[in-house]
Amino acid sequence: MSGSEYEFTADFEKDIQRAVTQYAERIGKGSKTDLRVVMERGRAHAPTLSAVFRARNVSPLFGLYIPWIESEYKNLEASGPMGAIGMFQFLPATGERYGLTTQELFDVARSADAAARYLLDSMQVFSSDPMKEALALLSYNRGAQKTARELKVLLNDQNKRCSICAMTADRSKLDETFRQESVFYVPRFFAAAIIGENPQVFGVQMQPLSSH
């Protein structure tokens, strides 16, 4: 995803493992929440998602696994007048910033392109950080400017090597939204990618999503 190896802390790796376990427990349940159903939807959309992100020179893994954790590959309607919509769960105001109308947010290719541009903008904010891709992921959930402000408060010489690890380790210093939601976002992304790129290891007889 970044072209280099990340060096996560042991605690952050445990967060990823917990997320892997939570997803894996849904495999073979024979219901609408069965993870195999989610992965089949992902396989159907994978060619479009990968192509759009490659066209923007962004790793297709972002395009494949952000909609896994955001919507499980469903074009969701908003739960309220200002709620997030579509497969990539954009707020209408954010979609407008990237040139999309509310209706266009339900177009998978258009919303994928907007998501790729959003990530590029976020990676630019964190361009000097070796974890810029992971921070861009967190920003997708939390916002780049807010994430940048929080990093300035939390980072020091001891923890700056893995900034995303520092944020999750010091979750108690951040707001309730981070503690209840955002702290799980990046681990869930990596967990989704681990399963989606190694489905047969988890008993799902299909090829990696990135191969479609």
Q: Is 141 exposed, middle or buried (0-12, 13-18, 19+ CB in 10 A)?
A: buried
Query: Which range has the worst mean pLDDT, 74-88, 106-120, 157-171?
Result: 74-88
Smallest Cα–Cα separation from 155: which of 180, 137, 174?
174
Instruction: Quote the tokens at residue 89.
Output: 């769960």
- Residues 58-106 have pLDDT tens digits of 999 999 999 999 999 999 986 655 689 999 999 999 999 999 999 999 9
- Kindly write down the DSSP assignment for every residue of 83-119, as one continuous string: --BBTTTB-HHHHHHTT--TGGGG-HHHHHHHHHHHH
State pTM to two decimals: 0.95
Residues with Cβ within 8 Å of residue 206, at least 6 apart in sequence? 39, 40, 43, 199, 200
Fold of 10-205: Lysozyme (1.10.530)
Higher pLDDT, 38 or 81: 38
Report in angstroms the alpha-carbon separations of 130 from 12, 135, 202. Answer: 16, 9, 30
Quick one: pLDDT at residue 32?
79
- Kindly write down the DSSP assignment for every residue of 34-72, as one continuous string: -HHHHHHHHHHHHHHHHHHHHHTTS-HHHHHHHHHHHHS
Quick one: pLDDT at residue 124?
97
Quick one: pLDDT at residue 5?
79
Per domain, the residue ranges of the chain are 10-205
- For residue 11, is pLDDT > 90? yes
Quick one: pLDDT at residue 3?
64
Q: What is the DSSP letter of 76?
A: B
Q: How far apart are CA 6 and CA 9, in angstroms?
A: 10
Smallest Cα–Cα separation from 99: which of 107, 109, 87, 110?
110
Do residues 86 and 98 lie in contact, with contact meaning Cβ atoms separated by under 8 Å? no
Q: What is the DSSP letter of 4?
A: S
The residues with which 85 forms a beta bridge, in sequence order, are 90
Q: How far apart are CA 200 and CA 205, in angstroms?
A: 5
- Residues 13-33 have pLDDT tens digits of 999 999 999 999 999 987 778
Quick one: pLDDT at residue 80?
58
